[in-house]
Amino acid sequence: MKRILFLTTGGTIASQASARGFTPITAGEEMLKMLPNLSGLCQVETAELMRLDSTNIQPEEWQQMAHSVYSALDNYDGVVISHGTDTMAYSAAALSYMLRNLDKPVILTGSQLALTAKDSDGPTNLYDAFSVALEGIPGVYVVFAGKIIHGCRAVKVRTQGADAFFSVNAPLCGTVTNNKVMWQNPLPTASGARSLAAHCQSRVLLLKLAPGLEPNLIEAAGILGYRGMVVEGYGAGNVTNTHRDIASALAKAIQGGLAVVVTSQCLLEASDMSIYEPGRVMQTAGAIPAFDMTTEALYVKLCWALGQSTDMEEVRKIMTQNIAGEMNG
């Protein structure tokens, strides 16, 4: 019988009502008691990493998760992580980069309703996550509402609805229906030895452009010690370059050593700075292209890339390599 490690981090799935609102309280062992049929499928051991609303999960917690998973993989056939939905996409992307050449499954799941709530989606999501882990398909996946999503492609799109995550710019890896796992597009098998690369740089800013934004905000980011910036431009990746000249401020920041990635505010399809003049000015300035990556994966990848090297050319190389299957092509 396969052995699966169940790591708990908190989130809605582990929450109970309190005077301060819903708070992660339920321990992993208590969560498993709500899945009585699981004992017939596999041996499960639990470990509590943290009890946090996922709003409070930071890069340091990504590293903690990555170290815990990596140290467990020799002794288990897979890992299931319960996680809050708000930042699950960030954590899934972080594990996709930090856990190199995975040869076993790492599955993140959670719920929109607390596990103890009436009609909670938690029991089904948890059972599905274990079912996918038992398939033995290597890689980091988000399993939610019957979907199996690549860890770098998941985006939360609903605040309350059970179908909370979409796979953006990529087909689903598979589905789970009535406890049956069906694969369509599993991640390719990795080559090389499994390794851990958990270093990351937390001083990265995510900036969404809006009419009226002042360019001195870019200068302030440099003064505050930020090392990188993901800019959500307009349309295909266009940046204001007339009055309130954001593009010139970004170009100056790039010359000063800030790693700048330009993406689109649009959820679907790829950004392309080469199409329009307001995009080309950023391309000429040395901004890093985003391709069709999600903002969550881009942000995490830039944090991770800056943790791997302080050389900007090396950071650019890392950002434009399809190292975790996070972009098409």
Q: How far is 209 from 262, CA to CA, in rounded Å?
A: 11
- Supply the angle between the helices 59-72 and 88-98 in degrees, to the nearest 10: 50
Question: How many Å apart are CA 239 and CA 241, to the nearest integer?
Answer: 6
Residue 230 shares a structural domain with residue 169: no
Are residues 251 and 280 in contact, defined by beta-carbon separation less than 8 angstroms?
no
> d(Cα 3, Cα 78) in Å, to the nearest integer?
7
Residue 152 lies in a domain: yes
Count the Cβ atoms, other than its own, within 10 Å of residue 242: 8
3-state secondary structure at position 180: strand
Q: Is residue 23 part of a domain?
A: yes
Q: What is the dihedral of CA 64, 112, 34, 107, to 10 degrees?
A: -40
- pLDDT tens sequence across 267-297: 999 999 999 999 999 999 999 999 999 999 9
Burial grade of 27 (CB within 10 A; 0-12, 13-18, 19 or more): middle
% of the chain surpassing 90 pLDDT: 88
Q: Which tokens sit at 219?
A: 């200068």
Whether residue 61 sits in one domain with residue 191: yes
| 30 plus 123 within the same structural domain | yes
What confidence score (pLDDT) does residue 275 get? 96
In-domain check, residue 137:
yes
Q: Are residues 110 and 219 in the same domain?
A: no
DSSP 8-state symbol, 325: S
Regarding whether 216 and 162 lie in a shared domain, the answer is: no
Q: Which of 175, 196, 217 is the last residue of a domain?
A: 196
Global pTM value? 0.97
Positions of the chain with pLDDT under 70: 19, 329
The last residue of a domain, from among 196, 223, 249: 196
The tokens for 318 are 């890392």
**188 and 124, same structural domain?**
yes
Q: What pLDDT does 95 receive?
A: 98
Going by C-alpha positions, the residue among 151, 183, 161 that lies closest to residue 112 is: 161
The backbone region for 235, taken as left when phi is positive above 0, alpha when psi lies in -120 to 50, beta otherwise, is left
Name the DSSP letter for residue 238: B
What's the pLDDT score for residue 172? 98
Domain harbouring 271, CATH code = 3.40.50.40
State the pLDDT at residue 64. 98
174-177/180-183 β-pairing: antiparallel
pLDDT in tens, 179-203: 899 999 999 888 899 999 999 999 9
Q: Let me know whether 70 and 180 are in one domain.
A: yes
CA distance 78 to 130: 9
Examine the domain organization and report whether 178 and 263 are in the same domain. no
Residues 55 and 100 in one domain: yes
Amino acid at 14: A
Based on the domain organization, do 169 and 276 belong to the same domain?
no
Looking at the fold, whether 121 and 60 belong to one and the same domain comes out as yes
Q: Is residue 328 part of a domain?
A: no
For the record, the structure tokens of 19 come out as 């005077």
Interatomic CA distance for residues 329 and 48, integer angstroms: 38
* Domain assignment present for 42: yes
Active-site residue set? 12
Query: Where among 148, 176, 196 does a domain terminate?
Result: 196
Its domain, for residue 46, covers 3-196
CB 127 within 8 A of CB 115: no
Beta-strand relationship, 105-109 and 180-183: unpaired
35 close to 133: Cβ distance less than 8 angstroms:
no
pLDDT at 37: 85
How wide is the angle at C-alpha 185 spanned by C-alphas 182 and 191, nearest 5°?
120
Does residue 186 form part of some domain?
A: yes
DSSP letters of 262-324? Answer: EEES-SSS---TTSSHHHHHHHHHTPEE-TT--HHHHHHHHHHHHHH-S-HHHHHHHHHS-TT
**Does 329 map to a domain?**
no
Q: How many domains does the chain have?
A: 2
CATH of the domain at 42: 3.40.50.1170
Whether 54 and 32 share a structural domain: yes
Residue 327: inside a domain: no
